[in-house]
């Protein structure tokens, strides 16, 4: 069973850019209500696509440089990386079925 991984500036390259599988990157904050609602949905997505997709979580308060690098202005911001490139992005809470469709488009 695949669980989301916490990513820092030091691990971003190895966990996201160099990943062999698509990576869903969740930019979140502890004070963000919609982030708290999105987190269990992403946990389910990580389990559903175990071995096919990785879910990475980035705390924007702890990792301000990464948030600035990817121009994260609102939370949650979710990006999908494939082959080291950003291939999709959405902002705000979304239903699981929409997230699943977006993930499947990149498998």
With a cut of 60, say whether residue 26 has pLDDT above it: yes
Tell me if residue 97 is catalytic.
no
Domains of the chain: 5-105 (3.40.30.10)
Of the listed 7, 24, 25, 32, which one is catalytic?
A: 32
What is the H or E stretch that residue 5 is in? strand 5-6
Confidence band of 1 (pLDDT split at 50, 70, 90)? low
Tell me if residue 59 is catalytic.
no
Q: Per-residue pLDDT averaged across 21-31, rounded?
A: 97
Of the listed 7, 16, 23, 35, which one is catalytic?
A: 35
Strand order in the sheet with 54-59: 5-6, 54-59, 23-28, 77-82, 85-91
**Residue range 66-80, pLDDT digits in tens:** 999 999 999 999 999
Q: Per-residue pLDDT averaged across 79-94, rounded?
A: 97
Q: Per-residue pLDDT averaged across 39-52, rounded?
A: 95
The structure tokens listed for 62 are 């702890």
Q: Name beta bridge partners: 80.
A: 24, 88
């Amino acid at each position: 069973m695949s669980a989301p991984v916490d990513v820092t500036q030091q691990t971003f390259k190895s966990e996201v850019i160099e990943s062999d599988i698509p990576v869903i990157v969740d930019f979140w904050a502890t004070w963000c209500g919609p982030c708290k609602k999105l987190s269990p949905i992403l946990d389910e997505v990580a389990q559903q696509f175990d071995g096919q997709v990785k879910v990475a979580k980035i705390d924007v308060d702890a990792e301000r440089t990464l948030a600035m690098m990817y121009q994260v202005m609102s939370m949650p911001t979710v990006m999908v990386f494939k082959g080291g490139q950003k291939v999709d992005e959405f902002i705000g809470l979304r239903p699981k079925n929409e997230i699943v469709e977006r993930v499947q488009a990149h498998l």
